[in-house]
Structure 1
Amino acid sequence: MAARSRFALRGKSQDSYLDLVRAFPLAAIRSEGHFAEAQEVMDGLLARGGMGPGEAMYLDALSDLVATYEDLRHAIEPASDADMLRHLMEAKGITQAELARASGIPRSSISEMLSGKKPFTRPVIRRLAAYFRIDASILAANFGNPPQSDGRGPSPR
């Protein structure tokens, strides 16, 4: 006998959920083809708009299955501190010179950090975090690790 859940659906919500499960069962994604189909189903639900509780519950479950597969098969490497700084500068529309003037960090240091030749130090991270009004941990992801080449300059030795 099945246990009853307080998350159970009833009526039309249950019907819509079960219709979706019949059309595309909720199961672990194990191939690129299955992954692509799952994405199409999700896109279709999102494009439809105005989802009821049944569709929303199904979409949440399918999204979890897709996210699990992506984490296993399509892992995204974390951004380096230099990549994050570059992104913040682009988002704010500032140059290295403007950042140097506003933060008090020498332009040469900013250039060397962006090229991976110089590590981010705690004082620099604090200044940058204050300037961009972000949590310092965003720029301290690789603190204490030697800088890595990001393909824009020579790898430090």
Structure 2
Amino acid sequence: MSSGRESPILVFVAEGAALVWSARDSRRLREELRLCGSPVGALVRQPRQNGRLGLPLRLLPEEARYLAESGQGLLLRRHAGSQLPEGVGAAAPHHETLRRSHAEQRQLALQEKRRLLQALGERIRHGREAKRKRRQEGGEG
């Protein structure tokens, strides 16, 4: 259970959605507070997949209110030009992780495409030769 000295769970509120971006906080929500939320994040290469959703964790309004009222969560609303509270620098490392993940996903997708083209290369070559023959036969007849 919570020791009471733990820092509050950071809940970022944007456009009516209460989101928890920290894996540690998400785990704490589930294990200690028995609040589940809904994972809503997606992988770069599979944006429409539904089987493997991840962070951020979207909380119901009731869950976010409970966290705020019980003092176990801190609701953060960011307005244009406003600064986050001191010690809340999780956004920069998260964005860097997203950037690296995106670059890695792009590289993997490119490698996968190359492998596919190599595997299909022979078939493509035969198709081009057959098309060339059909054009030559059609032009002569």
Q: TM-score under structure 1 normalisation? A: 0.20
Larger helix proportion, structure 1 or 2? 1
Higher RCO structure (Cα 8 Å, ≥6 apart) = 2
Specify the structure having the higher radius of gyration (Cα): 2
Q: Which has the higher strand share?
A: 2
